[in-house]
Structure 1
Amino acid sequence: MIRTFYVILVGMACLLPVSGVQAQDQDPQFSMFMLNPVYYNPAAVGSEGVARFQLVHRTQYLGYQGTFDEGGAPNTQLFSFNMPLNQIRSGVGLYAVNERFGPQGFQRVQLAYAVRLPIKKGTLSIGAEGGLHNWSINYDRLRPNEPGDPLIANGRVNQTRPDLGAGIAYQTETYNVGFSMKHLTQPDYELGSEANGNSLYRTAYLTAGYRYAWNDLIDILPAALYKFNTNGTYSSLEVNVMGMYDKRHWVGLGYRQGDAFTLTGGVSLLRNNALRFGYAFDFVVGNQGAKSPTSHELLLSYSLPEPRSGRKPIIRTPRFRY
């Protein structure tokens, strides 16, 4: 099975454009992407076999000072919940994101549903998500070269649009792969006037993860995430390798193409590892002249007790369960 993971990882790398990373991603990024499957793919809802609440806070480029006013670097919060519906071989979930990026603000709420079909030694999941995406700009924080420009509004302008996504995933006891796409309808935002048109481009995510049992106490968990906009303005590859001890303690090293090296760590507590704490530290190595050198991310989650049933449970993804 490990050959399968390596083939997927090499395939992802081959998809990268020669020019490397371009522009800025329109969606938030998370260093602990391997522990946030519901955000990246609606097909992941219900994959653990238990109901899980999760909260993530990310401060990117901590200490960044803009040319004027305070801050300006991304600051993101993510809440997610998902649970299985074993009786009908499916799962449901939701996530809510709040991000502030300079004078701009983004809020999104998505509901997700996935059908889970046992195939051979694994489970094939097909999911969809739908909700609302709000985009706001505080024009009072802008400093135009020409004061009184009629194309620049006053105060804060908000617009909310429907937003849809879909995904597919396959998982076994040792590996998982997935593909998803957000902003299928590419919602448009005028944000003050028709001349200030902006769109959310379709963004695709390819994910892969593997679990290698070194011995009875130690597991090695490599993972990869490749994301790109379908209009060709952005692409990025992220990789991470975690070492898990006794299914409770983990540390990991990762790299985000053109941006940063990452160090992650965490612990699971209580019975069945119900309570999880995680932390990620990014050391920025790309374009240091325009960024502060570090980013920080905190994760807290709790899973409800697993429901008892006389039926054999659906196969879970070990990576997310620990």
Structure 2
Amino acid sequence: MMKKIATVLSILAFSLSTFAQQELQVSQYMFNGLFLNPAYAGSHDYWGATALHRSQWVGFPGAPRSNMLAVDGPIKDKNMGLGFQFINDGIGLMATNELAANYSYYIKVNEKGHRLAFGIRAGIRNETFNASGLENVDMTDPLYQGNQSWWIPRFNFGMYYYTERGYLGISSHNLLFADARHKLDSDAGLKRHFFINGGYVWDLNSSGSVKFKPSFLVKYQPAAPIQADINAHFLFDDKFWVGVSYRTNAAIVGMIEYQFTPRIRAGYAYDYTTTAMRQFQGGSHEIMLGYDFIAKISKFKHPRYF
């Protein structure tokens, strides 16, 4: 009986993967914008790498488990940046792997460090459906014999305006090939997604030892309701972040980040589900590790604000 339930839930998870999970759900995106916007590439004066693991809906059969690695930095003496990403995602009987390259070009708006960047992202995505994990289906159907695998190209575009203390970005995912079809379901093509996000860092005292960073993210997909994240973070002594996020009709998120050295930082986030889904799972856990390739520590001003 439990196997049958697990099979049903896995099929449900596959359905979710073809729609809601086309874009990975990440709670700590505000500490590395490359996950959302290719124009973020090279926005800092040094190269940096961010690794992230997310276990979503812990305890729910077939729940999403995601791993991401992003590396980006500026091209020396050029108004350009590069970024690279690897994404591994599993949900139900579906496994996804994606490689992508990002390119950005920025314009200096003024002498105060304000910049406007434009970015593009080109990637290739492989999706594999493990049909052998299904039960109570017609295994004589060629569709369910062995693993089914297919490749889908992906192209994203973004714009990013930023200063030392604030930012505003807009991006579109699956700008091209938005109608690329899934091999298993001709109606479940990749959907175009739109994102708008922004934030600012304020000093709360004269010494600057306590800072406040409100930020937001709005996500729009024509076939789904608009979703928004409202975030509030506090930074103490340029080392310790603590914050909370409210994701509309989805979750409340608590998160922390600590800057161990000028080069090394780590973060953790926990999502408490606010929908009826919470009775079937134990929330979501997310771990982040970042390393910045800073050549001279003496020139280090402050940790990444965004």
- TM-score range (shorter-chain normalised) is 0.7 to 0.9
> What is the 5 A alignment of 1:1-322?
24-64=20-60, 71-120=61-110, 121=112, 122-144=114-136, 147-148=138-139, 150=141, 152-185=143-176, 186=178, 188-191=180-183, 196=186, 198-215=188-205, 216-229=208-221, 231-270=222-261, 273-288=262-277, 291-306=280-295, 319-320=305-306
Q: Larger RCO: Structure 1 or Structure 2 (Cα < 8 Å, ≥ 6 residues apart)?
A: 1
Amino acid at match of 1:262: V
Q: Over the residues paired in the alignment, what is the CA RMSD in angstroms? A: 2.3
Secondary structure of 1:319's counterpart equals coil
Secondary structure of 1:87's counterpart equals coil
Correspondence for 1:311:
none
Taking a change above 3 Å as real, the CA distance of residues 56 and 303 of structure 1, as seen in their structure-2 partners, is same
Correspondence for 2:16:
none
Correspondence for 1:17:
none
2:139·2:145 contact (CA, 8 Å) conserved in 1?
no
1:162·1:187 contact (CA, 8 Å) conserved in 2?
no
Runs (4 or more) in structure 1 with deviation over 4 Å come to none
Aligned-pair distance for 1:165? 0.7
Secondary structure of 2:175's counterpart equals coil
Question: In 2, Cα distance between the equivalents of 1:43 and 1:52?
Answer: 15
Question: In 2, Cα distance between the equivalents of 1:196 and 1:119?
Answer: 45
Amino acid at match of 1:235: I
Secondary structure of 1:288's counterpart equals helix
Question: In 2, Cα distance between the equivalents of 1:42 and 1:132?
Answer: 15
2:239·2:303 contact (CA, 8 Å) conserved in 1?
no
Correspondence for 1:68:
none
Question: In 2, Cα distance between the equivalents of 1:190 and 1:47?
Answer: 35
Aligned-pair distance for 1:105? 1.3
1:57·1:299 contact (CA, 8 Å) conserved in 2?
yes
* TM-score normalised per structure 2: 0.85
Taking a change above 3 Å as real, the CA distance of residues 237 and 255 of structure 1, as seen in their structure-2 partners, is same
Percent identity, aligned pairs only, is: 24
Cα deviation 1:146-177 (Å, max 9, x = unaligned) = 53573742121111122111100101122110
Amino acid at match of 2:119: G
* TM-score normalised per structure 1: 0.81
Question: In 2, Cα distance between the equivalents of 1:136 and 1:187?
Answer: 19
Aligned-pair distance for 1:307? 6.8
Question: In 2, Cα distance between the equivalents of 1:248 and 1:289?
Answer: 33
Count of aligned residue pairs for this structure pair: 280
Aligned-pair distance for 1:290? 6.6
List alignment gaps of at least 5 residues for structure 1.
1-22, 65-70, 309-315
Question: In 2, Cα distance between the equivalents of 1:84 and 1:317?
Answer: 17
